[in-house]
Amino acid sequence: MGMNIFFKSLFADKVAADTPPYQRLKRVNAALVAIRKLTRDLTIPVMPKTVVLTNTQMCNLKCPYCGSHGSPEVKALYHDKSKNMELAFMEKLAGEALPHAENVWLSLIGEPLMTTVENLEAYVHQCRKFGARMTVSTNAGLLSEDKMVFLLPVLAEIHFSLDGASAPIFDACRLGAQFGKVIRNIKIMTEAIRLLSDDIRVDSRIVFTLCGSNVRDFPRMVELSRFLGIKRIQVNFVHINMEHQNALRGDSMTFHQSTYDRMREQALSLAEGYGIVVVCPPPFGETATSPEIPPPGPLMVELPDSYFQTRPDVETELGFDPDEIHARASQVVTAIRQRRRAEKARSAADIRHEKALTRQWEKVLEQAFAKHKDGMEQFFTQASSMQECWYLDSYLDVRNDGDFRLCCNGPTMGDVTASPHFRERIAVAADVAAVTLRRQTVTDAFQSSLCTSFVRSFDEGTNPSCTHCSARTLRESGYFRETLESSDMIRFEGTQLRLALSGE
Ligand code: SF4
Ligand code: SF4
């Protein structure tokens, strides 16, 4: 084999594509967002860096504590095909937002993989077309190998939502799922990620919602994470709505504080030994309620404290054949490589569109930088600090009806005349016009008075959603410097700032 042919075949097998499209425009937008975050000049136009496309609100499971699928009433409300995002609407949103956006998240309300392979492929196609990467948060019950083939090349992150690390607990908390089947899906996926690790980087994590029924599985979740090759576990406390989920009151972590502290200690000690990062609420410590008195109402599963010590180890309980897992993951990798070889080059029209749009927004960046250069330099000279929220100015979560949210904790916004739920969720000032992404573009909606008034109320401390929100953070100047620099468009030269549009 001649040298050229050798290199050609070597690269033909690589999964990583050439530089994805629209990367420069994304950096321009990141610089604009960074300037707006620092200066709080809401006249600076920005586009979302993260876009959530709520592809479906349906879910394959019926977890008892789930606020949207746990009871027959709420399940009926959310389990509605008309709320699945229409492909034409998704393509409109993608065309407007994704050239600027770095990340696309699929549904955060239902199960994002509750969709056909063809439907998923349409989302993946838009991500590739506009150079955005995808984050998926899934219960993994529907994570089939044919879906992995589409997802893996565009995935930035995958979050496995697992509310138990052993069959008795998992099957009680995740009604409708089977522990062994779900973990097998994840194991094949993580093995495929390992096989592709020279070509792509996909971050994975386990998201573990802790309640009275599964708190004793916390140390075992660390064991499971190690078995799956996942290096990060994020732990949240379950939210039990005490008015509407009376039968589950006993599962609220309010009644399991000292048990949490004991299990947390065991879990963190194991995690340290395995090099696994666990992000979890702090211990209750001396303030822990003792003795714990759960109110009347059954837990989903009641287990002794010694539960963890009495289980067979994870590998034995699951009984997977490693060769079979490896063979199935290898098939996924082969299929990805075949698809990559069959990909077509970008059209000349697409390339022209990218260049024109990038130039248009570079001019916006030049103006914003010129306007604020002195003020920003002064901010850094004085080493000031300021309240900030990661979501603001950079996040857009869209539903099929055109309603949207600007953060994870704030109100749903949209067309008051079209959405019956809207009026209950937000009181809109009389001078703020209704906005719906069904009629407006993402650019217009994101710069609308509805959106800027929400952001302004954060700045002025009058936004009730923000008052007790953990996303509100006091940031030192170093944080703002990092966000400016990470765009790779703005450089610090001593106390001076310089716009480096030409990339020099
Ligand atoms: S998997 Fe998530 S969305 Fe589905 S029922 Fe369970 S908690 Fe709800
Ligand atoms: S601090 Fe305010 S804007 Fe940020 S996530 Fe919380 S509610 Fe939303």
Lowest mean pLDDT among 34-38, 167-171, 373-377, 384-388: 384-388
Residue 488 confidence (pLDDT) above 90: yes
Task: Confirm or reject: Cβ of 63 under 6 Å from ligand 1.
Answer: yes
Q: For residue range 378-395, what is the model confidence (pLDDT) as tens digits? A: 999 987 889 999 999 999
How close is the Cα of 460 to the center of ligand 2, in Å? 13
Between residues 9 and 420, the one the model is more confident about: 420
Nearest atom, ligand 1, residue 109 CA: 3
> What superfamily would CATH give domain 50-339?
Aldolase class I (3.20.20.70)
pLDDT given at position 8: 40
pLDDT given at position 242: 66
Residue 429 confidence (pLDDT) above 60: no
Write down the mean pLDDT value for the chain. 88
Which value, in Å, is the radius of gyration of the alpha carbons in the chain? 24
Helix (H) or strand (E) holding 152: none
Orientation angle between helical segments 477-486 and 348-381, nearest 10 degrees:
160
Residue 228 confidence (pLDDT) above 80: yes
- Mean of pLDDT values over 168-191: 96
Task: Confirm or reject: Cβ of 111 under 6 Å from ligand 1.
Answer: yes
Residue 122 confidence (pLDDT) above 80: yes
Domain boundaries, the chain: 17-46+347-394+408-491, 50-339
How close is the Cα of 160 to the center of ligand 2, in Å? 24
Instruction: Please tell me whether residue 252 adopts helix, strand or coil conformation.
Output: coil
Whether the CB-CB separation of 112 and 56 falls below 8 Å is answered with yes
- Mean of pLDDT values over 272-297: 83
Nearest atom, ligand 1, residue 110 CA: 3
Between residues 253 and 72, the one the model is more confident about: 253
pLDDT given at position 462: 86
The DSSP secondary-structure symbol of 49 reads: S
d(CA 358, CA 361): 5
Whether the CB-CB separation of 166 and 311 falls below 8 Å is answered with yes
Most ligand 1 atoms within 8 A of CB, residue of 55, 58, 68, 213 to mutate: 68
Confidence of residue 436 (pLDDT cuts 50, 70, 90): confident
